[in-house]
Amino acid sequence: MSDHRILLSEREIPKTWYNVVPDLPAPMKPYLHPGTLQPAQPSDMAAIFPMNLIEQEMSAAASIAIPEAVLDILRLWRPTPLVRAVRFERALGTPAKIFYKNESVSPAGSHKPNTAVAQAYYNKEAGINRLTTETGAGQWGSALALACNLFGMECMVYMVRCSFDQKPHRRTMMQAWGAKCVASPSELTNSGRKMLSEDPDSPGSLGIAISEAVEEAAGRKDTNYSLGSVLNHVLLHQTVIGQEALAQLKIAGAYPDVVIGCCGGGSNFAGLAFPFVPEKAAGKKVRLMAVEPTACPTMTKGVYAYDFGDKSGMTPLIKMDTLGHDFIPPGIHAGGLRYHGMSPLVSLLHRAGVVEAASYPQLKCFEAALKFAGAEGLIVAPETSHAIACVVDEAMKAKEETKDKTILFNLSGHGHFDMGAYEKYFEGGLEDYHYPEEKVREALAHLPRAS
Amino acid sequence: MSDHRILLSEREIPKTWYNVVPDLPAPMKPYLHPGTLQPAQPSDMAAIFPMNLIEQEMSAAASIAIPEAVLDILRLWRPTPLVRAVRFERALGTPAKIFYKNESVSPAGSHKPNTAVAQAYYNKEAGINRLTTETGAGQWGSALALACNLFGMECMVYMVRCSFDQKPHRRTMMQAWGAKCVASPSELTNSGRKMLSEDPDSPGSLGIAISEAVEEAAGRKDTNYSLGSVLNHVLLHQTVIGQEALAQLKIAGAYPDVVIGCCGGGSNFAGLAFPFVPEKAAGKKVRLMAVEPTACPTMTKGVYAYDFGDKSGMTPLIKMDTLGHDFIPPGIHAGGLRYHGMSPLVSLLHRAGVVEAASYPQLKCFEAALKFAGAEGLIVAPETSHAIACVVDEAMKAKEETKDKTILFNLSGHGHFDMGAYEKYFEGGLEDYHYPEEKVREALAHLPRAS
């Protein structure tokens, strides 16, 4: 039997990113200019993104070379381990084999630095020395702070208010890497001030924080904007995860029946799952499961339509699974999964039946995470706990059916900055939140007319 | 050139612990019974330790086999990476090569689980199902909580009050692994109640917390006590670190001129450095540097004498470097380094000139830690920052002298639960604390008569 932890040497970090676009079952719908409703041109995005990233965003190349300067930083923690969770299997009493890709080993504690480093690099190449961004749970903001610091750039982070209050230590972490972090909505932007005038106690949302960060970047020549999920180039940068996993599974002599990732904007799920899309197209029987919270059921309750990526309607219109850009999800602790939309690539694959979606309530997720911590030691982020809840269900199904099954999931981040959420769970202070149907209808009534 | 991260496979975890006792330059002084002042017998310790661990504590064997059940858990995160800190070298502009052993990758975030797992195992073997312990910064308490959980045992942690208040999330982490954690001094023990009656606002100390944990263990048949540092068997279990490092340095084609570890009770330092003791004795020119805070300068300002391991005088008398068991250090953020004594093995080697000691004030340590975070990404624990401050000095010396030099240090833990300390540092709210001479004299006036 092979090792439980399958490690690759740094020379085995993938040298290219895998682009799913040429392998899509249908062509991607173009982004639309929010004013003209015509397909957005590269120049439409040039106010906030560098041209090299815009080219990646629109690329149909099968793969894109990873620059040496990016690889040089990725090797601080990559390749990440692929681990066979033998103790978790035993605890569940399942015949299933469970593997996880441990992305929590990065300095920022999640998969997010995979794209943060690439985005900082391309902006620096384009002569930009300052980036703005939003963050929900703080994983993305930390990752961009880390990446900017490594390239000697400035970083400004708008953090969703409810997460900012839940996790003050994330802010300090960003500060340790030289970044500035403020609660959103803030008084620093028009978007923020408008929200605060409507609701001074707004818990914030990713949509609002994006509006603030985009507004600041659009208004300053020295500053660009950086997004931690959703967009094509972000998902592209995450495909190192799945490529490594494929190489590691080969060493383990295993192949997954199901690949599972939690899904907020789609980047950790896609990073692991997209490299399996051509395998599936070539006849491999592998299921790709995207897991979201019942409190923000973008794929399972939303519609597939053109919508804004942000609250204020400053972004291009994106054809995606959405709950409507007016939707503000309840303040659940999986802050990274509180987004009204979904990556257009994941949405397309979902609607084409290549990707399955499931939603889980948070109590079941915490329960699964604690079972995992008791068996494997690792305490995961609330986002990741959604993937684990689904793993448990798949493993128990295998048990009932006394079937061999191999499960692969993405351990997207650790929970070291989420102990407040666990504390609330222990105190019985957490409730499940199922998104009510009438709120879906209400939010969807405000979709832009292009939808 | 070899990889920057030198990884070993799980089959390369050392199969034995290295025992430094036969390699000591002088015989170790026996522990003394606190009542009779005669050498303590194994039976004297049987109220709180299982006989198998007492045998290890007193063993003069050159090495001791690691049980398969312990290896089976260690391989959840071991072997840990040895990393060449190329970016840190560049940031310092030093010709020195800097390597670090990354012990922060364990589920509890430090080197502590190396011995926690072994101690839980041996207690379980002896039919014990419940352990008590103390914790300073929380690293040790978390580690024992994790280990007990993996063996299905109960765990009770007395956490030094000032750390308990600084880091409530450590308590939640222990709870996630099924342990109970209370602030010390507590109302649960005679020792705790006595302290509280003298000083209701006591910030606590490791000495007090040890008294509480020992008292509870001594009074309950089903319960033993477990210590996270200081004792021989604890340091023994940590020697997997240095053994792995030696194998990894060989792969890197390097050998250290100096080995550096922070030193509170001595276990992470000894874990890395002890396997170099026979190398040094055989003629290798390697310096072993133990780094402590100026706020608790046990080796650099204390005396080498018999003293109690705890505040209340319940432990055997130990010949060690000590500031006196009455000493309560100021509430610096490196809670794991706030111990009045020092491992008797480290103390003996220090007094014999095999180990060098240095002390650093906390501001310089935070500064060094932030420089390291900016270069290598990782944010370390305040304890570990003491090692890094010393690394910086050694690297800068090499620069001044334009000398080749290889530095190895132990990255004993991450700082994810210490962001409050970093926040205070950023706010300018931290001060250096140099232990005043008159307080040394005062504390040393209360040494027990055997000293």
What stretches of B233-316 adopt beta strand conformation (E)? 258-262, 287-293, 303-308
B211: distance to nearest CA of chain A, Å?
28
Contact A377 B168 (CB under 8 A): no
Q: What is the pLDDT of residue A335?
A: 77
Q: Averaged over A66-71, what is the pLDDT?
A: 98
Distance from the Cα of B109 to chain A's closest Cα (Å) equals 10
Q: Is A77 on the interface with B (CB under 8 A)?
A: yes
The length of chain B in residues reads 451
- The first and second tokens of residue B434, run together, are 């140099």
A-chain residues near B173 (CB < 8 A): 379, 416, 419, 422
Position B229 pLDDT exceeds 70: yes
Q: What is the structure's pLDDT at A281?
A: 94
Mean pLDDT of A192-198: 96
Nearest alpha carbon to residue A6 among A256, A238, A253: A253
Q: Is B373 within 8 Å of chain A by CB? A: yes
Among A128-137, A186-195, B365-374, B431-440, the minimum mean pLDDT is found in B431-440
Asked if A76 lies within 8 A of B426 by C-beta distance, the reply is no
User: How much of chain A exceeds pLDDT 70, in percent?
Assistant: 99
Q: Which residues of A touch B9 (CB under 8 A)?
A: 3, 7
Whether residue A208 has pLDDT greater than 80: yes
Cα–Cα dist B421/B113, whole Å: 23
- Does residue A409 register a pLDDT over 70? yes
Separation in Å, CA of A380 to nearest CA in chain B:
10
How far off is chain B from A169, nearest CA to CA, in Å?
Answer: 6
Under an 8 A CB cutoff, do B149 and A374 touch? yes
β partners of residue A260: A289, A409
Distance from CA of A230 to the nearest CA of B (A): 25
CB-based contact (8 Å) between B401 and chain A?
no
| CB-closest option in A105, A150, A423 to B105 | A105
Chain B nearest C-alpha distance from A40 (Å): 37
Is B169 in Cβ contact with A373 (below 8 Å)? no
What gap in Å lies between CA B308 and CA B299, rounded to an integer? 16
Domains defined for chain B, CATH in brackets: 5-9+67-109+233-444 (3.40.50.1100)
Q: Which residue has the higher pLDDT, B329 or B291?
A: B291
pLDDT reported for residue A261 = 98
Q: What is the number of other CB atoms lying within 10 angstroms of the CB of residue A396?
A: 14
Q: What is the 3-state secondary structure (H, E, C) of chain A?
A: CCCCEECCCHHHCCCEEECCHHHCCCCCCCCECCCCCCECCHHHHCCCCCHHHHHHHCCCCCEEECCHHHHHHHCCCCCCCEEECHHHHHHHCCCCEEEEEEHHHCCCCECCHHHHHHHHHHHHHCCCCEEEEEECCCHHHHHHHHHHHHCCCEEEEEEEHHHHHHCHHHHHHHHHCCCEEEEECCCCCHHHHHHHHHCCCCCCCHHHHHHHHHHHHHHCCCEEECCCCCCHHHHHHHCHHHHHHHHHHHHHCCCCCEEEEECCCCHHHHHHHHHHHHHHHCCCCCEEEEEEECCCCHHHHCEEEEEECCCCCCCCEEEEEECCCCCCCCCCCCHHHCCCCCCHHHHHHHHCCCEEEEEECHHHHHHHHHHHHHHHCCCECHHHHHHHHHHHHHHHHHHHCCCCCEEEEEECEECCCCHHHHHHHHCCCCCCCCCCHHHHHHHHCCCCCCC
Residue B435 has pLDDT above 60, yes or no: yes
Taking only the tens place, the pLDDT of each residue in B16-51 is 999 999 999 999 999 999 889 999 999 999 999 999
Which among A77, A169, A177 is the nearest to B420, CB-wise? A169
Nearest to A4 among B10, B107, B370 (CB): B10
Alpha carbon of A47: minimum distance to chain B alpha carbons (Å): 29
pLDDT of residue A332: 73
Contacts of A422 in chain B (CB under 8 A): 172-173, 175-176
* B residues 168-207 lying closer than 8 A (beta carbon) to A: 168-169, 172-173, 175-178
pLDDT for B87 equals 97
**HSE of A384 in the Cβ direction (CA atoms, 13 Å)?**
27
Average pLDDT for A101-106: 98
Q: How far is A379 from chain B (nearest CA, A)?
A: 7
CB distance B107–A378 less than 8 Å? yes
Which residue from A5, A176, A374 is facing B379, i.e. has the nearest CB? A176
pLDDT at residue A314, rounded to an integer: 83
Chain A nearest C-alpha distance from B77 (Å): 8
Smallest Cβ–Cβ distance between A176 and the set B9, B178, B422 belongs to B422
**What pLDDT is recorded for position B2?**
65
- Which residues of B are less than 8 Å from A414 in CB distance? 416
According to the model, what pLDDT value does residue B451 have? Answer: 60
- Residues of B within 8 A of A77 (CB-CB) are 377
What is the per-residue pLDDT across A236-273, written as a single tens digit (0 to 9) for each? 999 999 999 999 999 999 999 999 999 999 999 999 99
Q: Is the CB of residue A90 less than 8 Å away from at least one CB of chain B?
A: no
Contacts of A173 in chain B (CB under 8 A): 379, 416, 419, 422
Nearest to B10 among A5, A9, A426 (CB): A5
Chain A residues with CB under 8 Å of B419 CB are: 168-169, 172-173, 176
Task: Please tell me which residue of chain A has the smallest CA distance to B378.
Answer: A107
Distance in Å, alpha carbon of B218 to nearest chain A alpha carbon:
28
pLDDT at residue A2 in the model: 65
- A296-325 pLDDT, tens digit per residue, is 999 999 999 999 998 888 889 999 999 999
Confidence of residue A427 (pLDDT cuts 50, 70, 90): very high
A379 vs B77: CB contact, 8 Å cut-off? no
Question: What average pLDDT score do residues A198-215 get?
Answer: 92
Q: What is the pLDDT at residue A1?
A: 53
The CA distance from B79 to the nearest CA of chain A, in Å, is 10
Tell me: the pLDDT tens digits for B161-176?
Answer: 988 988 889 999 999 9
Residue of B nearest to A368 (CA): B176
* pLDDT of residue B344 exceeding 60: yes
Q: What's the confidence (pLDDT) of residue A451? A: 59
* Residue A328 pLDDT: 80
Nearest residue on chain A to B152, alpha-carbon basis: A374
Nearest beta carbon to residue A419 from set B76, B150, B173: B173
Minimal Cβ distance to B416: which of A87, A149, A417: A417
Is A7–B7 a contact, with Cβ atoms under 8 angstroms apart?
yes
Q: Nearest-CA residue of chain A relative to B173? A: A419
- Residues B114-144 have pLDDT tens digits of 999 999 999 999 999 999 999 988 999 999 9
Q: Chain A contacts of B145, Cβ < 8 Å?
A: none
For position B290, what pLDDT does the model report?
98
| Pairs of CB atoms within 8 A across A/B | 117
- Three-class DSSP category at B305: strand
Condensed to tens digits (0 to 9), the pLDDT of residues A332-363 reads 777 788 889 999 999 999 999 999 999 999 99
Chain B nearest C-alpha distance from A300 (Å): 31
B416 touches chain A (CB under 8 A): yes
Across the interface, do B178 and A379 touch by the CB < 8 Å criterion?
Answer: no
pLDDT over threshold 90, residue A140: yes
* Nearest Cα residue to A116 out of A205, A14, A197, A234: A234
Answer yes or no: do A176 and B109 touch at CB < 8 A: no
The per-residue pLDDT for A334 is: 78
Residue range B295-335, pLDDT digits in tens? 999 999 999 999 999 888 888 999 999 999 988 887 777 77
**Residue B330: what pLDDT?**
79
What is the rounded average pLDDT for all residues in chain B?
94
* Position B449 pLDDT exceeds 80: no
CA distances from B234 to B21, B57, B265, B268, B415 (A): 13, 8, 10, 10, 23
Compute the distance between CA of residue A292 and CA of residue A262 in angstroms, rounded to an integer: 6
Q: What is the mean pLDDT of chain A?
A: 94
With a cut of 60, say whether residue B177 has pLDDT above it. Answer: yes
- Which chain A residue shows the shortest CA-CA distance from B146? A377
Does residue B408 register a pLDDT over 70?
Answer: yes
- pLDDT at res. A155: 98
Interface of B with A in 9-38 (CB under 8 A): 9-11
> Which residue in chain B is spatially nearest to A414 when comparing CA positions?
B107
Taking the Cβ of residue B274 and every Cβ of chain A, the question of whether any pair is shorter than 8 Å is answered with no
What is the predicted pLDDT for the residue at A450? 65
Catalogue the long-range contacts made by B436-440 (C-beta closer than 8 Å, 24 or more residues apart).
B437/B301, B439/B327, B440/B301, B440/B302, B440/B323
Cα–Cα distance for residue pair A197/A366, rounded to 1 Å: 35
Q: What is the DSSP letter of B178?
A: T
Interchain proximity A420–B172, CB inside 8 Å:
yes
